[in-house]
Structure 1
Amino acid sequence: MRRNESGGYAPQQADNRALAEPTANVRNRWTTSIVVINIGINAAFFGPIQVLLGQQAAAFSAADKEGILALVTGAGAAVSLVANPLFGTFSDRTTSRFGRRVPWVFIGALLGAIGLVGLAGAPGVAAMTLLWCLVQFGCNGALAATTAAIPDQVPVRQRGRVGGLASMGTTVGILVGAAIGAAVAGNFALGFIICAVALLAGMVPYLFLANDPVLSPRDKAAFTWRNFAMGFWISPRRYPDFGWAWITRFLVNVGNHMVTLYLLFFLTDAVGYANPEFGVLILTGIYAVLTLVTAVIGGLWTDKVGKRKPFVIASSIIIAIAALILAFFPTWTGSLIGAAVLGTGYGVYLAVDFALLTQVLPSAASRGKDMGVINVANSLPQVIAPVIAWPLVTILGGYVTLYVAAAIIGLLGAVFVVRIKGVE
């Protein structure tokens, strides 16, 4: 690999680094490119999800806006479950001179941007649904390839730090998306275009700084349609550490989504806050700031001590405590404390659990697919949490029941992480 005059990396010849365990520390500029692309991808996700798609749904039919939004976001979530492992699998088998991951980051971001620009002029609900599915397909594909680049290139001793910074990029991206939605003041078409620009701009530094190892054709995994179809399944019997790590991430994310899902209605109906929309903004800001700070600190700390599981257990407990605060202290003060505690726990969890997951991947040859399967544990809770939360709030006791259940589900994640044997 040769550095070019601009400080980036020129396309390289195939070498044996693609399937090797990385040993050299990554440069700060490479880590920065990972943070920036995470900001772009998540701005493209959450600007539409938080604001723009809702505004567009209301423009099509004010009376049916909730149903339209549910249809569009539900279809997009279903696509995301497939896109992550699919793009990861393709990238694992790519022998491009630019590396395994770079081509799919480019293709995914380009598809996502095309979908966003298309949404700006969508003529109806059907087109809106199809275009949002294209956005989800492309952005999740780019995310899968980007995520796989970390275990490809970051040694174990740095993964907490890099995972924390990548998580910081995710949180900043969510805030950028919300800011775009607020800045366009109801002009959702302009908002979609700005999100597309943010996505493409976030991709550019990574393309020039990727230093992506090239997979030799002779090392390319054997490919048949049968093992492609079966390849998304990773046997928990054969790879128990991977199975327990996946379950842990899934449960903690379900609990976290249950806590945040009905926050607006919780402030309205349980807390009685006079301006619930502004209240959500305040609580989200507190949560985001604490997540940013503790993700970086937690990542550095876990790398320094060389342990992962104690941090995952502690952060899961902290997240559960935040849910219980909201359950039993449904006041504005309680909400502020709960948001701060939740952000503290979730920031540490994001950084450390990511590092842990990269250490239980079944094979270097399938890191992209395996990380794509891991990303399903992030996406699927967005579908599952509303199914669990709705009857708890409306039929089975209200917000106390909801937040106690969220605490229990999150604590199960702490219990199951103990079953992982290959990581301390």
Structure 2
Amino acid sequence: MTTVRAAALAEPVEPVGRGWTAALSLANGAIWVGWFGPLQILLASQAKDFAPGTGMSKEALLAWVTGAGAVVSLLANPVFGALSDRTTARRGRRTPWIVAGSAGGALALLLLAGARGPWTMALGWCLVQLTLNAAFAAVTAAVPDRVPRLQRGVVGGWLGAAQILGVVVGTGLATLAGGTGAGYVACAVFTVVGVLPYVLRHQDLRLAPGDRPAWSWRSFLAGFWLSPRRHPDLGWAWLTRFLINLSNSLVLLYLLYYLRDGLHHADPEQGVLILTAVNGLTLMATVVCGGIWSDRVGRRKPFVVWSGVLMAVATAALAGWETWPGAIVAAAVLGVGFGVFTSVDFALMTDVLPTALDRGKDLGVINVANALPQVAAPALAAPIVTYLGGYRALYLVAAAIGLAGAVLVGRIRGVD
């Protein structure tokens, strides 16, 4: 075994420093800026401008464009993760994809800045999802490559905090830049600049050319199926993440309508902003602390279980305590639970990866559990609200789904 191979594929034991964690977190946040500046503000503005010539409403056009991008995202993350696993470049396995993905994402954002119709808008957004998922897959795979198991909670916490800040910064740039085109340019610049400290200052681990598996399309495609029978811990961990994220997506999907039609709030748009701010503050307060605590006690499952239970209780409160104060309390408790879940569940996922060689691909498959609920939630929520009891029934179902996810964590055997 060569030294390069040992460094790249062995389980890491040397703790990473604060500089490495900060640089990787900044890169992660920069990617989320590139995603959420468009998602929160810019795509909606373009849909409003382009819809009159399409025969669709602005809501339908936006749903069509973002839905196409979601499909690209579901496929791109595991594919680029697998490609980075097999990369033998001098700059390492992950860095080339971080560079190419962020640069490609910036170019795609500039394409959106110059879009003059719905087809260019859709193409640009699909390219953003394609390229930034390449960078994101490499960033997340760098954690199990470099971070020892008992440091992954705190690193996952800082990555989660950077993700939240990326959403805020992206929204701010899109709002304050001075127009849709300028907003896209600002997000593009931040996306590139934000990855530079990691790319320029930190050496990636290299995979020796002779250690890359022989290439064939059959083996490459077959590798995306991770048998729950062969890897039961990974299967249960994936299902847990999917269910808790689905519960959270169901909570957020119709929040505006819940405030307007269920609570009869005088200003539902402002209400959503207030609830989002409350949720974000409590999430930020716990996302790093939860990871640090988990690392110190050397356990993951209790944190994931109780954060899932806490989120389920808060979701049920939206159904049983249908008042504005109840909604504020629920938003705060959801933030506490989801903050702990974000950091500790990420660490748990890296602990159940089957092989070092396929870390990027396996994390990409796991990340499908983040994106798929965004597709499944509308299909599940619409009939519940319309035919099966309205918003109270929706939030009770969401609470039950989240509680099921928390309970199933107990089926994972290889992690404490």
Unaligned runs of 5+ in 2: none
Question: Which runs of structure 2 are paired with 1:77-156 in the superposition (5 Å)?
Answer: 77-156=70-149
Deviations 1:208-265 (A, max 9, x none): 2332111011211232111111111111110000010000001100001111111111
TM-score normalised to structure 1 length: 0.95
Aligned counterparts of 2:393 and 2:120: Cα–Cα separation in 1: 39
Give the C-alpha shift of residue 85 in structure 1.
0.7
Aligned partner letter, 1:206:
Y
1:198 corresponds to which residue?
A: 190
Identity %: 52
Kept after mapping to 2: 8 A contact 1:14/1:97: no
Alignment check: 8 A CA contact 1:46 1:174 kept? yes
User: How many residues are paired up?
Assistant: 411
Select which of 289, 292, 296 maps to 2:288.
296
Matches within 5 A, 1:289-368: 289-368=281-360
User: Which residue identity does 1:23 align to in structure 2?
Assistant: V
1:66 alignment partner in structure 2: 59
Map of 2:19 onto structure 1 = 29
Q: Kindly indicate whether residue 259 of structure 2 is the aligned counterpart of residue 267 of structure 1.
A: yes
Distance in 1 (CA, whole Å) between partners of 2:68 and 2:196 is: 29
After TM superposition, give the deviation of residue 15 of structure 1 in Å.
4.8
Mapped to 1, the partners of 2:22 and 2:224 lie a distance apart of 30
Choose from 389, 395, 406 the match for 1:414.
406
Structure 1 residues 210 and 376, CA gap change in structure 2 (3 angstroms): farther
Letter matched to residue 331 of structure 1: T
AA aligned opposite 2:267:
N
Superposed structure 1 runs of 4+ greater than 3 Å apart: none
Aligned with 1:243 (options 235, 249, 266) = 235
Aligned to 1:5: none
Measure, in 1, the Cα distance between the counterparts of 2:377 and 2:170.
Answer: 22
Residues 406 and 238 of structure 1, relative CA distance in 2, 3 Å threshold: same
Say if 2:174 and 2:187, in contact at 8 Å, map to a contact too: no
Match of 1:50 in 2: 40
> What residue number does 1:222 align with?
214
Matches within 5 A, 1:372-411: 372-411=364-403
Aligned residue in 1 for 2:168: 175
Partner SS for 2:6: coil
TM-score (norm 2): 0.97
Q: 1:162 aligns with which of 149, 155, 168?
A: 155
C-alpha distance in structure 2 between counterparts of 1:237 and 1:49, whole Å: 38
The aligned counterpart of 1:4 is: none
Q: Which structure has more helix as a fraction of its residues?
A: 2
Shift of 1:73: 0.3
Maintained 8 Å contact 1:29/1:209: no
